Amino acid sequence: MIKARVIPALLLKDEGLVKTRKFNRPQYIGDPINTVRIFNELEVDELIFLDIGASPQARSPDLKILREIANECFMPLGYGGGLFNFEVVKSIFDIGFEKVVLNTVLHTNPHFISEIAEHYGNQAIVAAIDVKKNFWGHYEVWTLSGKNNTKKNPVEWAAELEQNGAGEILLTSIDREGTWEGFDINLTRKISDAVNVPVIAHGGCGKISHIKQVVEDGHAAAVALGSMVVYQQRNMGVLVNFPDKQHLESILK
């Protein structure tokens, strides 16, 4: 049994999958439906889809493509992007997603979590925190796919999200995202040690040893992978893949 979940985190933009680096320069990866079919064959335990254009453009999710994804997918699904009101969230659950990932909306409506939890439970809510260091090396929380600096302290914000009822936290280091250089262990440990809900570390993974490190040293309960599951290797072409499960078990047992 693997003690930490390993989850592909896939970025949606204009009905296609893309991959970014430090939240910039989205590169087209492929069709999300074909990608889901590959992950079905690889027997991945869970998938997260994040629409990186929905919130910055103040638009609702593309329910057509999400419905196609849900119909094709064999594993539990999470979705984030453009979730600004309960009716939109309900539509995501209605088409078959098990979790919603909330970020920007929580900065203007922090009690949105409890509204959703009343109907679907806290376990169905993932609060996303996107973090970047400022000029002086201090961590700050950003929203709108890294376009808006809230100036909030991520540790304090994580504690507030837990208090409001978040079931999990998806923690992304903007500085590490897409770099293959490894997770921000210090940031992950700060957040993981400050809350009692599972923290999903995201941003920077380039090899299996990075997963082991962020779980053991960063105290992450789960790991979300981007570049590693859509590229052959760093600076090489697209190849949808997933780490060997026996290898994962050997390092995460």
Which residue type occupies 44? V
From 51-55, 132-136, 235-239, 240-244, the region with the lowest mean pLDDT: 235-239
Structural domains of the chain ordered from first start: 5-252 (3.20.20.70)
Q: Given the residues 51, 130, 175, 217, select the one marked as catalytic.
A: 130
Known active-site residue 130: yes
Burial of 57-68, coded b for 16+ CB within 10 Å and e otherwise, reads eeebbbeebbbb
Q: Give percent of the chain with pLDDT exceeding 70.
A: 99
CA atoms within 13 A on the CB side of 67: 6
Residue appearing with tokens 């962020």: 214
Band (249; pLDDT cuts 50, 70, 90): confident
Average pLDDT, the chain: 95
Q: In Å, what is the CA distance from 2 to each residue of 6, 61, 212, 248, 252?
A: 9, 33, 11, 7, 6
Question: Radius of gyration of the chain from Cα atoms?
Answer: 17
With 60 as the cut, is the pLDDT of residue 215 above it? yes
pLDDT at position 162: 97
- pLDDT class of 1 with cuts at 50, 70, 90: very low
Percent of residues, the chain, with pLDDT higher than 90: 88
253 has pLDDT over 80: no
Structure confidence at residue 2 (pLDDT): 53
Q: Which of 228, 232, 191 is nearest to 209 (CA)?
A: 228
**What pLDDT was estimated at residue 168?**
98
| Per-residue confidence (pLDDT) for residue 251, from 0 to 100 | 86
Structure token pair of residue 214: 């962020």
pTM of the predicted protein model: 0.96
